[in-house]
Amino acid sequence: MGKALLAAFERIVIFDFDGVLTDTLAEMLRFSDQVCAELGYQRQTTPQDIHGLPRMGFDHLARQLGIAEPLIPQYVQKVLQCFDESPITYTLFDGMDAVIRDLATDSILAIVSGNLQRVIRRFLAKVQLESCFWRIEGIDQVGSKSEKIRAIRQSLSLQLPAFMIGDAVSDILAAKEAGAVSIAVGWGHQEHQKLLQAQPDYLAQKPEDLIEIIRHQSSSRSL
């Protein structure tokens, strides 16, 4: 991104995907159960299994479910394959379309997710929002979530305020590690109390809150 174009934006806003932009919880549970059965585990995956994860990720979910360590890479690959090959039945959370389009007018938007990049791109194309995002980083790109956030900041400008919006403890920790403002959301896959234990900078109860939090924090920082 050139300096002239970069100057038109006031901040960097990075979103997680699952549980922030779209509700894929039902798919996660269904795909996990399917893969568990394929691997010989008659274990039903519950929302509580996901709520309690110390870090969000299909590898951590596999351990929560008691999958043997040597089988975890296969479990992760198969769950991601289910997302890749299944029709998109999930939708944006109510109000998120307007929030993204509003923020895209003065913010550089990106996604850093534990899902596959092509799954995210396919979804964004379906909801006609792909052009709003400058970069999309999925689990199939090299690096941890904090490394990807840091790389996005470094490739643009470390002087721009940066925000990471997530629904999991791991998102909050990654934001802190990468020097970004952390915003936890109250509509995602992990419960409020679990998120608050990670001490996010802000908690948004509904998508519309994001605009107020981000613009207020940015304007306060510039004073």
Looking at the structure, do residues 98 and 197 belong to the same domain, yes or no?
A: yes
In contact, 99 and 207? CB cutoff 8 Å: yes
Q: Sorting pLDDT into bands at 50, 70 and 90, what band is 114?
A: very high
Name, in order, each residue with C-beta under 8 angstroms of 39's C-beta and a sequence gap of 6 or more: 67, 71, 74, 75, 78
Which residue range is the domain that position 35 belongs to? 25-85
Last-in-domain residue among 36, 58, 85: 85
Q: Is 216 exposed, middle or buried (0-12, 13-18, 19+ CB in 10 A)?
A: exposed
Q: The pTM is what?
A: 0.91
Phi, psi values for residue 92, rounded to 5°: -65, 145
pLDDT in tens, 192-218: 888 898 999 999 999 999 999 998 875
Choosing from 69, 85, 101, the residue where a domain stops is 85
- Same domain, yes or no: 79 and 182: no
Name the domain boundary from 60, 85, 110: 85
Q: Are residues 210 and 141 located together in one domain of the fold?
A: yes
Same domain, 73 and 142: no
107, 10: one domain: yes
Any idea which residue has 């198969």 for tokens? 78
Q: Are residues 167 and 75 in the same domain?
A: no
**Residues 57 and 97 both lie in one domain:** no
Predicted pLDDT at 93: 97
Cβ within 8 Å of residue 78, ≥6 positions away? 35, 38, 39
pLDDT tens-digit map of 151-195? 999 999 888 999 999 999 999 999 999 999 999 999 998 888 888
Query: Do 184 and 205 have their domain in common?
Result: yes
Residues 50 and 150 in one domain: no
Residues 40 and 102 in one domain: no
Q: Kindly list the distances between the CA atom of residue 121 and the CA atoms of 18, 31, 85, 164, in Å, as whole numbers in the listed order.
A: 13, 20, 14, 19
List the one residue out of 103, 48, 61 whose CA is nearest residue 213. 103
- Pair (19, 29) in one structural domain: no
The three-state secondary structure class of 125 is: helix
